[in-house]
Amino acid sequence: MPDRAVANGGDLTLLLLPPVPDLAKRADELLGLVRAVETPLVLAIRDMADVETEAGALRAEADGFLAMDRDGLSYLPADDSEPAVLTDTMTGELLGERHPGDIGNGGALLVLGNRSPNLETEEEGRDTSRGSPLHRRSPRHGTTEPRCRALVITGTHSAAGKTYLVTAFARYFADLGLRVAPFKGQNISNNARVVDGGEIGVAQYIQALAARRRPDVRMNPVLIKPQSGGSHVLMLGHYDDRLSALPWRLRKPPAWRLVSDALHGLMDEHDLVIIEGAGSPAEPGQYRNDLVNMRIAREAEAPVLLVSDAGRGGGVAHCYGTWHLLPEDDRALVKGFILNRFWANGNPRMLDASRRYLERVTSLPTLGVVPELPYTLPEEDSYSLSRTSAKRQKRMAVVAYPHMSNFDEFTPVSTSGTTDIVWARDPGDLAGAELVVLPGSKDVPASARWLRDTGLADVIRGYAASGGRILAICGGLQLAGMSFKDDADVEGTGQGLGLLTLDTVYEEEKIQRTGSFTFGRLTGPWQRLSGITVDGYEIRHGRTRTTSDREIIPGGLAFVRENVLAVYFHGVFENAKALEAVLGIRSEPHADLERTFDGLAESLSAHLDMRQVERIALG
């Protein structure tokens, strides 16, 4: 068998083997096969008990094991954590028409997870049935029917500016009177918003607002929320515990059908779907069977615009290299390049010679050079947050634990021009703050440990004891309390800072809802919030009670003790009256966001050949 193995770049190579007696003694032979196809190993054995008795010798080399028993196919992580039973849908996606029970008496299935995804056969990966670009073959009806257009915006690398370009294109095409929807097959972010049907990443939420559409979960069908030791996977807005238990290689096959259905559902209802890619569309280790780049472009029969960050230097080379690495069929989908984030004070003519060369070797247009723009949209990840201070009149410290979530709600403060946000990661960062915020957290127990390890826990307690204002939000509310208990096994158990007498219990059912929240009568440092109503949202597993502190909003939604205020809802800083009450900032966050959308659309007209973009997107 090893002599027939091929390093094919696949994510999962499925090899149906005859019975393998005395598996432990044949470990070297099997590992030779693994090395031949350049993959880590996942091994399926007929009986789950055999994993310990027969496959022990392979355990050190394995990502985990697939095992068969009466319940079907299960995934057993190599670290001895709890197994995850695959649903019939997952099993079907992994094995195709073959059911585990059909493998045969004593048979074993060797599943090899490779360095780059490739679950498609060559025929499946190549669309040979494309007709006119104005029509598609409907997977539901089997007939040819008119369809909407789609446009993919992907980048030569992460942080090329795809997110705000999709936002800008969404407003631009919406201004043309089109029904526009954003789409990203899979997003990785702890910043999420509650929409129709559950949660989506904040980027697609903002893009939907730019498109003047009501956000819904199909715009981001798979959302991955990182936490210590793994991640939570949300499918169509809701936590999927079985998929979350699987390694990333096994998540993709069952997720693809859901991603594809969401994409086609949006295409059926809109004139244009603007699709955001992720990372690089040509990265060899991520190329095949991805959920966000060229597979989506093939599925939607969509033209692709390739974006590179020209401000870093090498943008033209990045464009050519990415285009050149793509297989020929996918390369044909790329219709142009955008050089993005060029220095605001630079002369774009500097790039003319490079642009001409790129157009000559690819026969594709460079559609323009977009400068750094003075518009700010909410960030998706904490790596984008600067610790530097602009030395403004006021200073607000947000405690930036590694699993901080939903920090996009502080954008109105950072763009106010009057208040600095310091992302506090060590005790000295709290010095001089007139407000300390404990933000949301995707992993409250890990955040509590981090606070203790960094010394911030003691400094925060001292800050509170000295009368400094502390505002705790959602996970921060739980951290500000006494304890959190997790019998549902969704987050973990631990001790809080003890700033408030709050005890939290995690429940399996997650609260995901929007609402209007009105503060009761407050005194002292929070007096100006009395009677103010905040439109916000809740995302939480926790339910909290107090033993002695005042519940300022009924239903366990907000608690206060003198200078410490804790709320379960997000959105305080996105409400004009609350923003002024807490920090004295006079702003209209929603109006400011609308002006940002309009400004981004105007910038496209100023710096890109939008007539050519319209021809590419709309035909």
**Count of helices and strands (H, E) across the chain:** 19, 33
Would residue 319 show up in a list of annotated catalytic residues for this protein?
A: no
- How far apart (Å, rounded) are the C-alpha atoms in residues 70 and 379? 47
State the span(s) of the chain assigned CATH 3.40.50.880: 382-587
Would residue 474 show up in a list of annotated catalytic residues for this protein?
A: yes
Tokens of 418: 């009057």
pLDDT for the residue numbered 116 = 35
Complete DSSP assignment for 153-191: EEESSTTSSHHHHHHHHHHHHHHTT--EEEE-SEEE-S-
Strands 62-69 and 72-77: antiparallel
223 residue type, one letter: L
- How far apart (Å, rounded) are the C-alpha atoms in residues 407 and 126? 41
* Catalytic hit among 318, 474, 541, 607: 474
* Catalytic hit among 264, 318, 403, 570: 570
- Give CATH for domain 136-185+203-213+252-372+604-618: 3.40.50.300
State the span(s) of the chain assigned CATH 3.40.50.300: 136-185+203-213+252-372+604-618
User: Collapsing DSSP states into helix, strand and coil, what is residue 566?
Assistant: strand
- How far apart (Å, rounded) are the C-alpha atoms in residues 298 and 46? 37
Tokens of 159: 């942080």
pLDDT for the residue numbered 15 = 55
pLDDT for the residue numbered 4 = 47
Q: Which residues of 162-179 are buried (b: 16+ CB within 10 A; e: fewer)?
A: bbbbbbbbbbbbbbeebb
Segment (H or E) for 356: helix 352-362
In degrees, rounded to 5, the angle at the alpha carbon of residue 311 between the alpha carbons of residues 309 and 316 is: 55
pLDDT for the residue numbered 106 = 41
Q: Count CB atoms within 10 A of the CB of residue 551.
A: 15
Q: Which residues of 195-206 are buried (b: 16+ CB within 10 A; e: fewer)?
A: beebbbbbbbbb
- How far apart (Å, rounded) are the C-alpha atoms in residues 378 and 387? 16
Packed helices 162-175 and 610-618: angle between N→C axes, nearest 10 degrees: 80
Q: Domain 382-587: state its class.
A: alpha beta
CB 600 within 8 A of CB 612: no
pLDDT for the residue numbered 25 = 63
Chunk the chain into consecutive blocks of 10 residues (it has 619) and report each block's average pLDDT, rounded to whole numbers: 47 55 62 60 58 54 64 69 70 54 46 41 35 31 53 92 94 96 93 91 95 96 84 88 75 83 95 94 76 91 94 88 91 93 80 91 93 77 55 84 91 88 92 94 93 96 95 96 88 92 92 94 94 94 91 94 95 94 91 92 94 93
